[in-house]
Amino acid sequence: MRICPNCGEENPERFRLCGFCGAALAPELPPQEVRKTVTIVFSDLKGSTAMGEKLDSEAVREVMSRYFDEMRGALEQHGGMVEKYIGDAIMAVFGLPRVREDDAVRAVRAALEMRQRLAALNEELESRWGVTVGNRTGVNTGEVVAGDPTTGQRLVTGDTVNTAARLEQAAPTNEVLLGEATYRLVRHAVEVEPVDPLELKGKSERVPAYRLVAVPSESAAPDAAKGASLIGREAELEVLTAEFERALSERSCRSVTLVADAGVGKSRLVEEFAVTVDESAEVLRGRCLSYGRGITFWPVVEIVRQAAGIREDDTPEQARQRIESIFEDGAVNATEQVAAAVGLSEREFPLDELFWGVRKLLESQARRKPIVVLFEDVHWAEMTLLDLVEHLVTAAADVPLLVLCTARPELDEERPGWRPSPDSARIDLRALSPEQTALVVQGLLGGSDVAQDVTTRVVEASEGNPLFV
């Protein structure tokens, strides 16, 4: 295997480009420079000229300082690095100094949070100074040349940067435009509206772009696998199905932890399992995040929102009422503890009471209909969340409930051999065989004919990893 100098992931020896981030595995630039695929966020303030006519210089400086503090906070919270300020504009890079597999998604989430923070900031500016401001943002992904950050040379250059700036200039006030490459990387995680191809300065052809509408919950099920056959995972699917059926027959809480490297097929197997239990169970999903504030209970927040049917526009009181409606008449009511766990209450409870509240809610939900609770990417989970999962699996009783966790092998570095309970099942997902990999190739091509030597080359180079295929 070859370690990518860009993102640190392992690749087969035959790869010239990284299967995760697309970077060249062999250096092609001098040591003081690097070529990387990054996502650029370029945002420009609108209305500063009119504000300058209305306010004195000290007030304008304070407004500008508040604005840039909020925008920088949104960008850095999602893992971006502010590259520079250009007048009223701010430019940030996602992918330096280290590329992450979700850099484009992080950038889009940051752009959305910038818009949300600006709306809140405008309420403050209106009440204090009687002014409001707007901004417009462009997000673009592509290859750039950057100075070595270890030497302080961070300047990022390339057409990707220029296109991000042009997208920003073409965006309406308080809107975000995504470039085509960015959209391809985040299409599973966002809601957008296509706009007419843009005629951008310096571009010989019109450039496709998309207006960002929303970024749904992290727990939204991926659709990349729809229509594709599940290959080589029949035994693992049988284990999942058997554990679910045992939870049904025994009215007990069972658990399975699915462990595999990135790209081997955890998500595809989970989606196939979810389809098989769709009519007999409700699947509640929560994804562990690798960054950000308040991430400890983030999967619980997503699971509770789904279980209670909480909508984005619900007030905190409406959300609490939806949580309370889950608890049956005469049952122990843990609304206050659940509300505190998911940030809907200022009351403080010991951790064991929060755990108890979440368990009681899921037990009440499971009495209505069997449930599968999916905790995704628990290798990123805080230790407190893993403790909660263990409590849920060992203490839930007299309800049909399956707790399914997915993780990369890094989980074993934090908690060696982790299982929520002694009799929990664990599936270590292995690479596909050459024969199975060849079937994946055929499936991806929709049955189209392909030369045998080409298939053989793909099979050998991918080493059984469907993502590499």
Are 270 and 286 in contact by the 8 Å Cβ rule? The answer is: no
Sheet holding 371-376, edge to edge: 282-287, 371-376, 401-407, 253-259, 425-428
In this prediction, residue 171 carries a pLDDT of 93
Q: Which CATH class is domain 234-428?
A: alpha beta
450 burial via Cβ count (<10 Å: 0-12, 13-18, 19+): middle
Sign of dihedral through CA atoms 331, 332, 333, 339? negative
pLDDT of residue 222: 45
pLDDT tens over the chain, length 469 residues: 566 766 666 677 666 677 766 667 654 444 456 778 899 999 999 877 778 778 888 888 899 999 999 999 999 888 898 988 888 899 999 988 777 778 899 999 999 999 999 999 999 989 988 888 999 999 999 988 876 555 555 577 788 888 999 999 999 999 999 999 999 989 888 999 999 988 887 777 888 999 999 887 654 444 444 446 788 899 999 999 999 999 999 999 999 999 998 888 898 899 999 999 988 999 999 989 877 666 789 999 999 999 999 987 888 899 999 999 999 766 678 999 999 999 898 899 999 999 999 999 999 999 999 999 999 999 999 999 999 999 999 999 999 999 999 999 999 988 888 899 999 999 999 988 989 888 888 888 776 777 888 888 988 888 888 878 8
Structure tokens at 212: 């960002």
User: Is there a contact between 3 and 449 (Cβ–Cβ < 8 Å)?
Assistant: no
Helix (H, G, I), strand (E, B) or coil at 233: coil
Model pLDDT, residue 236: 94
Contact 104, 114 (CB under 8 A): no
pLDDT at res. 70: 93
Task: Look at the block and give the residue holding tokens 């050998």.
Answer: 460
pLDDT at residue 217, rounded to an integer = 61
pLDDT of residue 416: 86
- Matching CATH number, 31-214, of 3.40.50.150, 3.40.50.720, 3.30.70.1230, 3.40.718.10: 3.30.70.1230
Q: What pLDDT, on a 0 to 100 scale, did the predictor assign at position 107?
A: 94
Whether the ω angle into residue 97 lies within 30 degrees of 0, i.e. cis, is yes
Distance of alpha carbon 261 from alpha carbon 240, whole angstroms: 19
Q: DSSP letters of 253-320?
A: EEEEEEE--TTSSHHHHHHHHHHHTTTT-EEEEEE--SSSTT-TTHHHHHHHHHHHT--TT--HHHHH
pTM > 0.85: yes or no = no
